[in-house]
Amino acid sequence: MAKAKKRYVCQACGSVTTRWQGQCVDCAEWNTLVEEAAQVSTVFAAKHDLQGGGRTVELLGLDANVALPERIASGLAEFDRAVGGGIVPGSAMLVGGDPGVGKSTLLLQVAAKVAERGLPVIYVSGEEAADQVRLRALRLGLGRSPVRLAAATSVRDILTTVGDAPPALLVIDSIQTMHSDLIEGAPGTVSQVRASAHELIRFAKERGTALILVGHVTKDGSIAGPRVLEHMVDAVLGFEGDRSHQYRILRANKNRFGGTDEIGVFAMEGAGLAEVPNPSALFLTDRGEPVSGTSVFPAMEGTRPVLLELQALTVRLASGATPRRSAVGWDSGRLAMVLAVLEARCGLSFASCEVYLNVAGGYRLQDPGADLAVAAALVSALSERPVPAGAVALGEIALSGEIRPVAHAPLRLKEAAKLGFDSAWVPAGIDGPATLKLERFAHLRQLVDRILGR
């Protein structure tokens, strides 16, 4: 008998080599090569007729007179917003997030809402027993929902069970616990995750079942397993949030049936995840008396403006001490750039101060339009002169100190006016609602003079 060939597959990037080595040559990760069988399973080849002749497939035009399937409303408006308006039949979605952030809770609520509309729903857990899922459902008040449960890890068993009567929605929690008997390897390996996902997605496409896969994440926040898994699915959703805060954000990182700039906001409560239709109220603290070192920035998440409070603190040190720079919820490199522009272009000195910046509520902000609000908070903290409580600030700062416009400024300012703000600090050339008093700045030096009262 011929000796079976072996290969070594990197568990981080999926690259294949014929011999083991300590470091992967493609992704430079250490000790990630795992031995696997090299040959393709004959069962897989027979099932998909890889050794026989092909068959013709039906060709359709873009204007085919075929009734297109309607989206399935999940019953959670924030979830539907994030996925583009509802679940598309026959689509495959991958939901990832940190352990304990609430992925299983969210999908159990979605499954229960869809089942209560009379559609068949199956929830398969590879990590928990069916009784454990029932206990969670009782805690969430979903004990009477007609969701069918299963505790299984074999893809063949799952597809055999649901094949005769395909459900409208199939939830797999999680893809890293599934294994396919068509290839060798332990569950969670690159080859098993890829093969299991391929079989499940193929079933979803052929039977018109909407498929939701739960994915584990690595320590850097990316979804574990082969990168090709994200290419195989139609949508990749990230469920973000800090367990020390109550808010959770469902963000679409990839979506073939909608935009990738929409988010759904939830609040973790005792009875599960509650929708937050007005996120600004969640991220804005009780703003009474003006406090130095704070400013409000109208961020933009898809078509939804969200008002955030930025908090800055400066602490003067004794001479000779090394000052610290810390940013929570914002890019520390961009904080260093704003500080450099304030020193070089505006004559302010932060060299003897420790600087701390925080985005209230644990929100992670990446919008460059927050530069002006950050600068206002820093100048206010340094001078101990508060920014007016009814003012918002937005604008991007160039290295020359010039303040540049940001996208969707009228929509951001309209949201600020709706929430009771009466003034806005904006770049030159920006218009807003008549109820807002606009103060336009062409250079950062003008903003500094405004705060310092020069």
Same domain, 269 and 289: no
How many Cβ atoms from other residues are within 10 Å of residue 420's Cβ? 9
The structure tokens 């509650």 sit at 274
Classify residue 261: in a domain, yes or no. Answer: yes
Task: Answer whether residue 14 shows pLDDT above 80.
Answer: no
β-strand 121-125 against 148-151: which pairing, if any?
Answer: parallel
Same domain, 379 and 291: yes
Per DSSP, the residues of 340-380 read: HHHHHHH----TTEEEEEEEGGG-----GGGHHHHHHHHHH
Return all residues near 303 (Cβ < 8 A) that are at least 6 apart. Answer: 261, 262, 411
Classify residue 445: in a domain, yes or no. Answer: yes
What whole-number distance in Å separates Cα of residue 413 and Cα of residue 434?
A: 10
Same domain, 152 and 114: yes
What whole-number distance in Å separates Cα of residue 404 and Cα of residue 398?
A: 7
Classify residue 11: in a domain, yes or no. Answer: yes
pLDDT band at 399 (very low <50, low <70, confident <90, very high): very high
Return all residues near 352 (Cβ < 8 A) that are at least 6 apart. Answer: 316, 317, 319, 323
Same domain, 316 and 386: yes
The residue with greater pLDDT, 132 or 53, is: 132
Classify residue 58: in a domain, yes or no. Answer: no
Tokens of 335: 């904080």
Same domain, 322 and 265: no
Give pLDDT tens digits for 372-384: 999 999 999 999 9
Q: What is the pLDDT of residue 56?
A: 84
Same domain, 120 and 252: yes
Name the residue range of residue 151's domain: 77-277
Domain termination site, one of 246, 277, 308 = 277
Same domain, 169 and 28: no
What whole-number distance in Å separates Cα of residue 320 and Cα of residue 315?
A: 14
Domain termination site, one of 253, 277, 301 = 277
Same domain, 271 and 302: no
Same domain, 217 and 245: yes
**DSSP bridge pairs for 263:** 251
Domain of 227: which CATH number?
A: 3.40.50.300
Q: What is the pLDDT of residue 317?
A: 86
On whether the CB atoms of residues 396 and 404 are closer than 8 A, the answer is yes
**Cα angle: 342, vertex 347, 350; to 5 degrees:** 60
The residue with greater pLDDT, 215 or 287, is: 215
Give pLDDT tens digits for 19-65: 888 898 888 888 888 877 655 444 444 455 544 566 788 887 777 56
Query: How many Å is the maximal CA-CA distance in the chain?
Result: 90
On whether the CB atoms of residues 299 and 365 are closer than 8 A, the answer is yes
Tokens of 158: 């799952």
What whole-number distance in Å separates Cα of residue 227 and Cα of residue 386?
A: 48
How many Cβ atoms from other residues are within 10 Å of residue 174's Cβ? 23
Return the beta strands (E) in 30-104 as ranges. 33-37, 92-97
Tokens of 347: 């004559």
Q: What is the pLDDT of residue 44?
A: 46
Same domain, 332 and 427: yes
Burial bucket for residue 386 (CB in 10 Å: 0-12, 13-18, 19+):
middle
What whole-number distance in Å separates Cα of residue 169 and Cα of residue 114?
A: 8
The residue with greater pLDDT, 18 or 376, is: 376
Task: Answer whether residue 104 shows pLDDT above 60.
Answer: yes
What whole-number distance in Å separates Cα of residue 448 and Cα of residue 393?
A: 13
Domain termination site, one of 228, 248, 277 = 277
Total tally of structural domains belonging to the chain? 3
How many Cβ atoms from other residues are within 10 Å of residue 191's Cβ? 21
Classify residue 64: in a domain, yes or no. Answer: no
**DSSP bridge pairs for 356:** 313, 326
